[in-house]
Amino acid sequence: MTTTNSMTLADQFRHRPAVRSAIETIGAELRSAQADITGVRPATDPSLSQCLDQVMKDATEVRGRGLLYPYLGSGIGNGALVELLDGSVKFDMITGIGAHFFGHSDPDLVETAVEAATADTVMQGHLMMNEEAIRFAEVLVAEARKSSDLKHAFLCNSGAMANENALKVCYQKHAPASRVIAFAHCFMGRSVTMAQIGDSAGGRSGVPLSTLVDYMPFYSHVAARRMSAGDVSGSTRYIDICVEHLEQYIERYPKQHACFIFELVQGEGGFNTALPEFHRALMDVCRANEIAVWADEVQTFGRTERMFCFDALGLGDMVDVACVGKMSQVCAALYTDNYNPRPGLLSGTFLGSAVGLKVGRRIIERLRDGGYYGPDGSIVAHYREFESRVRALAAAHPEWFPHGDDYHDVVAGFGGMMRFTPFGGEKEPILHLCHELFKAGVIAFYCGHGPYHVRFLPPLGAMPVEQWKDVFDVVTSAMSTTASQVSV
């Protein structure tokens, strides 16, 4: 049994009855306050609306450009529901582009954060860190090692920085190789290097190009269907063509590729999915040619049918490097022993906040123990409910979902990465719908590059399956409004 004499002063402080009582009191008061948030509601207090308008103007002035949505949170919510600064309440179906899997004002995470806030410093770094950093990395690596050889984690503050660190690891391992392979329509982050790798002309506008990138086609379910002929499936033909494409790059630039970045489910590109055998065939070529296999899990981490998407797709044995972020709160580059870099390559003043580290560890523990994964997990149940409601909506209003063979089905995704494609996937109606959804009470976003899609990254850790009915009541209303205002 632990005794007071064997505890540090910090442990003694955190275990003081007054401190524990204060944390529990905050949790109890939060539960009481959030009980009033039960559904979507408009702003009703003119003074609060004026406050939001003023802060929006302030945001435009201080940022140099306005916000895409008039989203400014008040600081409280209840699971999937969030209160904004004007007092309105909306369903949050995008969660900070996937960062808030447990929604808003989760009492357990708030209590964890309050305890973490009693630490001696706000930020922790690679020169001076507290125990929380090691414990966070341990629980993360333990989950990764269940299906892969990933053994080490280097922590940092953003997904882009995790990607930068992973790229350095790959460059060092395969020096002097200087080329990178990535999928068309990929997204890697906003740093100078990641903007060059990401396949977005707007994202690198005005940026001098110094990173050598070769783009591979991502898997296309549409193209594969069209290629079916005789006894050979379209998927086999498509995969064979992509393998040949990759081999041509390697032949053209022998020994010059340091890594192939596998965005296993494309995020910004349209929540595009691929058959596991597509990824494995390309990974086999990389292995044969000593090219690092890098799994970009910044958006997929925690959201698919396993904690790591490479596990959900049965690809863990192929992965040399991986990156996680968003819902983990603190980001990380993970790598095998074989890719462990030499001293001096990776460092940084900050690796994360004390709150982020402790809350992030708690999130991973809850993901691990909460019944989210596997064929009978809650993430599968949520996706099925989402899919059935989109299909029911399309059946009731086929005029809202015109489609042909030039893009995927009206609904797609993987686990907690969900999208639907109304109005023929045209950009302007999709953007209009996103704004109508916001006004009606559902916060969503878009993805894709033609077709465009409405994107959901819902807080499945805090959302009962039954709540999808209320969400789709709002979706139906917003789509009706949009259909009456735009032409497709």
Residue 5 inside a domain? The answer is: no
Residue 275 in any domain: the answer is yes
Q: Which of 307, 341, 369 is the last residue of a domain?
A: 369
Q: Contact at 8 Å (CB) between 454 and 421? A: yes
- The encoded tokens of residue 374 equal 């596997």
Task: Tell me the residue range of the domain where 199 lies.
Answer: 123-369
State the average pLDDT over residues 319-339: 98
Q: Indicate which CATH number applies to the domain containing 192.
A: 3.40.640.10
User: Higher pLDDT residue, 226 or 439?
Assistant: 439
Q: Where are the alpha helices (DSSP H) in 289-377?
A: 309-312, 354-369
For residues 315 and 338, state if they share a domain. Answer: yes
Q: Are residues 33 and 148 in the same domain?
A: no
- The pTM of this model reads 0.95
Q: Given this model, what pLDDT does residue 405 score?
A: 47
Q: What is the pLDDT of residue 488?
A: 67
Which residues are bridge partners to 79 per DSSP?
A: 104
Cα–Cα distance for residue pair 173/255, rounded to 1 Å: 12
Residue 96 resides in a domain: yes
Contact (Cβ atoms closer than 8 angstroms) between residue 429 and residue 482: yes
For residue 441, pLDDT beyond 60: yes
pLDDT band at 91 (very low <50, low <70, confident <90, very high): very high
Residue 29 clears pLDDT 80, i.e. is over it: yes
Q: What is the dihedral of CA 456, 461, 465, 468, to 10 degrees?
A: -30
**pLDDT value, residue 16:** 96
Within a domain: residue 154? yes
Tell whether 393 and 303 lie within a shared domain.
no
Checking if the pLDDT of 466 tops 70, the result is yes
Residues 267 and 406 in one domain: no
CB 129 within 8 A of CB 351: yes
pLDDT for position 2: 45
C-alpha 390/C-alpha 398 separation (Å) is 11
Write phi, then psi, for 445 (nearest 5 degrees): -150, 180
Segment 11-23 mean pLDDT: 96
**Preceding peptide of 464 cis, ω within 30°:** no
* One domain for residues 216 and 246: yes
Q: Give the Cα separation of 12 and 31 in Å (integer).
A: 27
Per-residue pLDDT for 1 more than 50?
A: no
User: HSE on the CB side for 137, CA within 13 Å?
Assistant: 20
Whether the link from the prior residue into 107 is cis, omega within 30° of 0, is no
The pLDDT, as a whole number, for residue 6 is: 85
pLDDT averaged over every residue in the chain: 95
Q: Would the pLDDT of 420 be above 90?
A: yes
Q: What is the pLDDT of residues 340-366, one digit of tens each?
A: 999 999 999 999 999 999 999 999 999
Would residue 248 count as lying in a domain? yes
Percent of the chain with pLDDT over 70: 97
Tell me if 258 sits within 8 A of 171, measured CB to CB.
Answer: yes
CA distance 300 to 255: 30
The answer for residues whose C-beta is within 8 angstroms of residue 272's C-beta and 6 or more apart is 185, 218, 219, 265, 266, 408
- What are the backbone angles phi and psi of residue 11, rounded to the nearest 5°? -65, -45
Q: Are residues 139 and 42 in the same domain?
A: no
Q: What is the pLDDT of residue 228?
A: 78
Kindly state whether residues 292 and 401 are assigned to the same domain: no
Confidence bin at 79 (pLDDT 50/70/90) = very high
Question: What's 218's DSSP letter?
Answer: P
Residue 320 to residue 291: CA distance in whole angstroms? 9
The two structure tokens encoding residue 380: 């599968």
With beta carbons less than 8 A apart as the criterion, state whether 265 and 272 touch.
yes
Is 136 a residue whose pLDDT tops 90? yes
Q: What is the CATH number of the domain that holds 22?
A: 3.90.1150.10
- What per-residue confidence (pLDDT) applies to 408? 59
Q: Is residue 457 part of a domain?
A: yes
The CA distance from 425 to 445, in Å, is 14
296 close to 261: Cβ distance less than 8 angstroms:
yes
Q: CA-to-CA distance for 250 and 191, rounded, in angstroms? A: 27
Upstream peptide bond of 451 is cis (omega within 30 degrees of 0): yes
Together in a domain, 362 and 380: no
- The pLDDT of 195-206, averaged and rounded, is 93
Are 334 and 432 found together in one domain? Answer: no
Question: What token pair was written down for 263?
Answer: 């965005």
Kindly state the tokens that stand for 258.
């340091």
The reported pLDDT for the residue numbered 5 is 65
Beta-bridge partner residues of 261: 182, 294
Single-letter amino acid code for the residue at 251 = E
Q: What is the mean pLDDT of residues 268-284?
A: 96
The set of residues, in sequence order, having a beta carbon less than 8 Å from that of 124 and lying 6+ positions away, is: 130, 132, 133, 350, 351, 352, 353, 354, 357
**Which among 331, 351, 369 is the end of a domain?**
369
From 369, 385, 404, the end of a domain falls on 369
Indicate if 361 and 379 belong to the same structural domain: no
The total of structural domains in the chain comes to 2
The pair of structure tokens assigned to 142 is 């333990």
pLDDT at 209 exceeding the cut of 60: yes
Question: Is 369 in a helix, a strand, or coil?
Answer: helix
State the average pLDDT over residues 160-185: 98
pLDDT of residue 404: 52
Q: What pLDDT does 486 receive?
A: 87
Q: Are residues 222 and 95 in the same domain?
A: no
Task: Centre a 10 Å sphere on the Cβ of residue 485 and count the other Cβ atoms it contains.
Answer: 11
Residues 454 and 469 in one domain: yes
pLDDT band at 487 (very low <50, low <70, confident <90, very high): confident
Residue 249 placed within a domain: yes
Residue 163: closest CA among 301, 368, 312: 301
Does residue 395 lie in a domain region? yes
pLDDT digits (tens, 9 = 90+) for 47-75: 999 999 999 999 999 999 999 888 999 99
